[in-house]
């Protein structure tokens, strides 16, 4: 895998080089000391992944991410001194298409942050490989809807209505757009799987809390979904709804590079027999969530995929559209109104 490094500090570039080259299969594509050079270099030589610093002279890492994703898109991993301290820029970069964020490793390369960075690179490589061989053709077993017959029983019938959402690249901003429009008395529990690192998840919850009237929480094992609460997946394991109606985390499927996986969440809801409600698949690279959305549609769920022009990356919603998994394809700004109309929410803001 060819890795590019963008950082205005030569010592940081050298430390990242040494760390990356500990894996003999990784090569340094190029380095850049500022955002302008990164944009030029990427146009001339697109790498497999860019390690993007945020705070640099001239164009910031977030702005550089926006330009690269418009002109020569590739995987971008934000590498910054502090994710929490630079949260605004981290979130901005992810809104423009950065895949994830991790803290800059120490110079000796023996820190936990070094291990996290290398793990992120392995994950990016697996995603790139999956994208290269990906097909969005539905398997034969999914081509005929398996609708639940009228009067069917549900093992989770005592739960409130559940809205399931999945997002990846560009997801934080998309989630903010939707959740900030919802009333604090929204009558459903909302379960969210956003491809994001554990370190960033708590910051995402804090940021959404500052912008939304509805209550936002990290999903904790054993939580039982309650109405008017948004539960955000907060680990690298997959958030699932268990058959006893509680939220849990599972490492399976272990080989899924999208973590936490939208398909894992959607499939767990389908497996549990949760009463049909609404599932939403938002902007993101790849096809995670598309098959899970199809399963939910086949069990009478109202399923929504984000419309192309409002996506940062039209990957996951496009895969859902090709499978016929979405009963509606909507611009981002219309999704919140659709949810409230579907659930008959009429309480004042």
Tens of pLDDT along 71-124? 999 999 999 888 878 888 888 898 888 988 888 887 655 578 899 899 989 988
Q: Based on the domain organization, do 214 and 156 belong to the same domain?
A: yes
Q: Which of 195, 228, 238, 302 does the annotation list as catalytic?
A: 195
pTM (2 d.p.): 0.84
Rounded distance, CA 50 to CA 2, Å?
9
Q: Is 310 a catalytic residue?
A: no
Per-residue pLDDT at 265 = 97
User: Do 93 and 187 share a structural domain?
Assistant: no
Provide the CATH number for the domain around residue 290.
3.40.50.180
Q: How many domains is the chain partitioned into structurally? A: 2
Q: Check if the beta carbon of residue 236 is closer than 8 Å to that of residue 264.
A: no
Catalytic position from the list 168, 261, 268, 310: 168
Lowest average pLDDT, out of 32-36, 129-133, 307-311, goes to: 129-133
Give residue-wise pLDDT tens across range 125-136: 888 888 776 644
Question: Residue 331's domain spans which residues?
Answer: 151-343
Residue listed under structure tokens 């995929």? 305
Which of 66, 98, 132 is the C-terminal boundary of a domain? 132
Q: Is residue 87 part of a domain?
A: yes
Q: Verify that 104 and 199 share a domain, yes or no.
A: no
pLDDT at 56 exceeding the cut of 60: yes
pLDDT bin (cut points 50, 70, 90) of residue 148 is: very low
Same domain, 263 and 330: yes
Angle between helices 290-298 and 316-323 (to 10 degrees): 40
Whether 140 is in a domain gets the answer no
Question: Looking at 102, 132, 162, which one is the last position of a domain?
Answer: 132
Same domain, 317 and 193: yes
> What is the pLDDT, as a whole number, of residue 348?
39
Distance in angstroms (rounded) separating the CA atoms of residues 341 and 345: 7
**Is the confidence at residue 280, as pLDDT, over 60?**
yes
pLDDT, residue 255, reads 86
Do 106 and 159 have their domain in common?
no
State the Cα–Cα distance between residues 270 and 283, nearest whole angstrom: 22
105 and 221 both lie in a single domain: no
pLDDT at 137: 43
Question: Looking at the structure, do residues 230 and 330 belong to the same domain, yes or no?
Answer: yes
Q: Of the residues 238, 288, 302, 310, which is catalytic? A: 288
Please tell me whether residues 192 and 326 are part of one structural domain: yes
What pLDDT was estimated at residue 199?
76
> Could you confirm whether 195 is annotated as catalytic?
yes
What percent of the chain is predicted at pLDDT more than 90? 70
């Amino acid at each position: 895998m060819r890795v590019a490094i963008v950082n205005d500090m030569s010592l940081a570039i050298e430390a990242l080089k040494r760390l990356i080259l500990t894996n003999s299969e990784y090569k340094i594509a190029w380095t850049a000391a500022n955002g302008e050079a990164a944009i030029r270099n990427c146009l001339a030589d697109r790498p497999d992944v860019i390690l993007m610093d945020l705070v640099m002279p001239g164009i910031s890492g977030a702005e550089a991410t926006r330009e690269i994703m418009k002109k020569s898109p590739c995987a971008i991993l934000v590498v910054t001194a502090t994710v929490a301290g630079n949260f605004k820029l981290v979130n901005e970069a992810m809104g423009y298409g950065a895949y994830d964020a991790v803290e800059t490793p120490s110079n000796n390369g023996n820190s936990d942050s070094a291990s996290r960075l290398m793990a992120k690179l392995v994950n990016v490589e697996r995603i790139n490989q999956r994208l290269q061989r990906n097909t969005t053709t539905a398997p034969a077993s999914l081509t005929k809807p398996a609708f639940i017959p009228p009067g069917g029983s549900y093992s989770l019938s005592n739960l409130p209505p559940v809205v399931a959402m999945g997002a990846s690249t560009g997801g934080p901003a998309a989630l903010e757009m939707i959740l900030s429009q919802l009333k604090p008395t929204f009558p459903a529990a909302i379960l969210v799987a956003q491809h994001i690192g554990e370190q960033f998840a708590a910051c995402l919850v804090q940021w959404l809390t500052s912008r939304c009237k509805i209550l936002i929480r990290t999903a904790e094992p054993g939580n039982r979904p309650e109405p008017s609460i948004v539960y955000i997946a907060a680990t690298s394991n997959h958030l699932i709804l268990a058959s006893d109606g509680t939220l849990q985390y599972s490492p399976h499927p272990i080989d899924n590079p999208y973590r936490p996986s939208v398909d894992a969440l959607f499939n767990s809801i389908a497996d549990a027999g949760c009463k049909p409600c609404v599932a939403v698949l938002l902007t993101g690279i790849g096809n995670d969530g598309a098959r899970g959305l199809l399963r939910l549609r086949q069990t009478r769920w109202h399923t929504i995929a984000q419309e192309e022009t409002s996506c940062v990356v039209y990957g996951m919603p496009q895969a859902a559209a090709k499978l016929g998994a979405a009963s509606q394809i909507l611009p981002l700004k219309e999704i919140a109104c659709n949810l409230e109309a579907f659930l008959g929410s009429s309480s004042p803001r």
